[in-house]
Structure 1
Amino acid sequence: RVLERATHTIVQQVEAMKHMVNEFAEYARAPESNLVPLDINTLVRDVVDLYRGGSVRVRHDLASTPLYVEGDEGRLRQLLHNLVKNAAEALLEAAMAGGVAPAVTLRTRLRPDEGLVELRVDDNGPGFPPDLVEHIFEPYVTTRPKGTGLGLAIVKKIVEEHAGRVHAFNPAEGGARVLILLPALAGGAHTVSTGVAVPPGAVEGGADTAPSC
Structure 2
Amino acid sequence: MSVRGCVLVGIEGTHAAGKTTLVHALTSHYREQGVLVDCTGEPARTSAFIEEIVLHGKGGFDLPTEVDLYAAQLSATLRAARHQQLLICDKTVVNVLAYARMVLAAPTGSHEEAVLDAMAVFCQAWAPATYDAVFYLGDTFDQPADPLRAKVRHLQAETADAVKAACAGVGLDLIDVPAGLDTAGRVAWIARRVDPLLREVTG
TM-score normalised over the length of structure 1: 0.25
Max Rg structure? 1
Q: 1 or 2, which has the higher strand percentage?
A: 1
TM-score by length of 2: 0.26
Higher RCO (CA-CA < 8 Å; seq separation 6+): 2
Please identify which structure carries the higher helix content: 2
